[in-house]
A and B are shown apart, each in its own frame.
Chain A
Amino acid sequence: MTIDWAHFTPLSALAGGALIGLAAALLILGIGRVLGAAGIVGGALEVQGADAPWRWSLIVGLVLSPLVARLLWSVAPPVFVAPWPALVASGLLVGFGARLGSGCTSGHGVCGLARLSPRSLVATGIFMAAAFVAVFFTHHVFG
């Protein structure tokens, strides 16, 4: 394995990561809620109550963010490389798995690790390992 220096962007990765951490900090200190995207989307879909409006507000903020980003700097539109049946399968597994496992990349991988939660450390290790294996199969075995 070699480092892909052509694509590796350590500074913007750190800076963007710091913004994600800032968002998590604002949410936990400001309104006392954990920034876990799967919990927020899943909760918004399920719960009719006091927690529904802020969850939908956060989702609106996420959807508006590319428009704001494009006012500030040049952002290339994303390219979804996987064909649509793979995206459907991916979405189903991501949605089901993140709810069963109580968290996703932001909930366990960022907030959970920042809380020093052993549960989130295990979850993050498992979903990373599973994703490495999935990419190995889709890109190198069947790819």
Chain B
Amino acid sequence: MKRNIFALGAGLIFGLGLCLSGMYEPAKVIGFLDLDGAWDPSLAFVMGGAIVVALPAFFVARRRAAAWIGGAIDLPRAQAIDAPLVVGSAVFGIGWGLGGVCPAPGVADLGFLNPGAAIFVVSMAAGMLIFRAAADRRLPGLKLLAQDA
């Protein structure tokens, strides 16, 4: 139960941050991603602000034996800079540029009852499930996908 309350709170604060920073707005994200003409550097400031706050938390997390509510602190262990990382990130970036939406803002924008957000999120969920199916079945030509994160 405590876990779910923490997660709900983190989701709420995350979404408030997206609303305050303007990152819930695809046009503002595109304003950063469009280097031609007048450029809006806001997104870099959002990432900077987030990293400055999160960095000490991860520093502490690495040195703690357990989370506040108990249980292990699950930090990613993968180190390899491999083909799935490179190809996946490139595919993700193309999709991000195409719509100006990434996963968290897409989900948060559902709260505005925005039909565009619904189309995006349903398609994103489909993309994730296609990935899982491809990775599990080791489809020919998609062997790379079998490699887990």
Q: How many residues of A contact B (CB 8 A)?
A: 117
| Closest chain B residue, CB of each to CB of A79 | B27
| Closest chain B residue, CB of each to CB of A98 | B92
Q: Indicate if the CB atoms of B96 and A134 lie closer than 8 Å.
A: yes
B19 within 8 Å of A (CB atoms): yes
Is chain B's binding surface mostly helix, strand, loop or mixed? helix
| Closest chain A residue, CB of each to CB of B79 | A119
- B70-81 CB mask vs A (1 if < 8 Å, else 0) is 011111101111
- A2-22 CB mask vs B (1 if < 8 Å, else 0) is 111011111011111111111
Q: How many residues of B contact A (CB 8 A)?
A: 121
- B26-57 CB mask vs A (1 if < 8 Å, else 0) is 11101101111111111101111111111111
Q: Indicate if the CB atoms of A45 and B129 lie closer than 8 Å.
A: yes
A56 to B: closest C-beta gap in Å: 8
Q: Indicate if the CB atoms of B69 and A31 lie closer than 8 Å.
A: yes
Q: Indicate if the CB atoms of A104 and B25 lie closer than 8 Å.
A: no
Q: Indicate if the CB atoms of A119 and B18 lie closer than 8 Å.
A: no
| Closest chain B residue, CB of each to CB of A128 | B93
User: How many residue-residue contacts, CB under 8 A, span A and B?
Assistant: 525
Partner of B123, one of A62, A87, A119, A126: A87
Q: Indicate if the CB atoms of B7 and A90 lie closer than 8 Å.
A: no
7 contacts between A and B (CB under 8 A): A3-B40, A17-B51, A19-B21, A23-B10, A26-B6, A105-B103, A122-B86
What residues make up the interface of A, taking CB atoms closer than 8 Å to B? 1-4, 6-10, 12-35, 37-39, 41-42, 45-46, 53-55, 57-69, 72-73, 75-82, 84, 86-106, 108-119, 122-124, 126-136, 138-140
What residues make up the interface of B, taking CB atoms closer than 8 Å to A? 2-28, 30-31, 33-43, 45-58, 60-61, 64, 66-69, 71-76, 78-81, 84-112, 114-117, 119-132, 144-145, 149
